[in-house]
């Protein structure tokens, strides 16, 4: 099994657009279509496909954004595993890969994300990888979590 993070191009865009979370999770994250549209409007966003061998199993979107206090914040802004591939360990696999990818790309000391407080499965996963709540809320009312890599 080869797990990879791939850029989204004309050749794989349709298979990325076909990825969907389970019905019960739809309120937690935007669709891949909405994410790609947002990335088209803001060049700071980097959308990527998450692949096992040559099968797309998930999607993520990240970026570095200016911050008054820290100068720059690196965000793992979107992260999903398609409903057909959930429960197989891909969330853990790709969260770990994404963390390493962001550290290498941005040489960051912290990685931020936000989550709705009723998304218990995601919170549990993020906490297992060292993310903790900052006490902040994002613009949509989601709770901000951070992973401090410098510790």
DSSP 89: S
d(CA 8, CA 6): 6
What's the half-sphere exposure (Cβ side, CA atoms, 13 Å) at 2?
4
User: Cβ distance 130 to 148 under 8 Å?
Assistant: yes
Active-site residues: which are they? 126
Rounded to 5°, the CA angle 75-19-2 comes to: 75
């Amino acid at each position: 099994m080869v797990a990879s993070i791939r850029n989204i191009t004309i050749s794989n865009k349709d298979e990325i657009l076909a990825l969907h979370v389970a019905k019960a999770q739809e309120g937690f994250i935007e669709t891949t279509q909405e994410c790609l549209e947002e990335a088209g409007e803001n060049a700071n966003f980097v959308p990527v496909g998450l692949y096992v061998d040559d099968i797309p199993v998930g999607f993520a979107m990240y970026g570095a954004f200016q911050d008054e206090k820290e100068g720059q914040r690196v965000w793992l802004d979107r992260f999903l595993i398609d409903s057909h591939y959930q429960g197989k360990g891909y969330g853990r696999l790709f969260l770990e890969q994404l963390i390493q990818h962001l550290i290498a790309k941005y040489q960051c000391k912290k990685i931020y994300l936000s989550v709705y407080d009723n998304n218990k499965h995601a919170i549990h996963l993020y906490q297992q990888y060292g993310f903790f709540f900052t006490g902040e809320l994002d613009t949509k009312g989601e709770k901000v979590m951070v992973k401090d890599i410098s510790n």
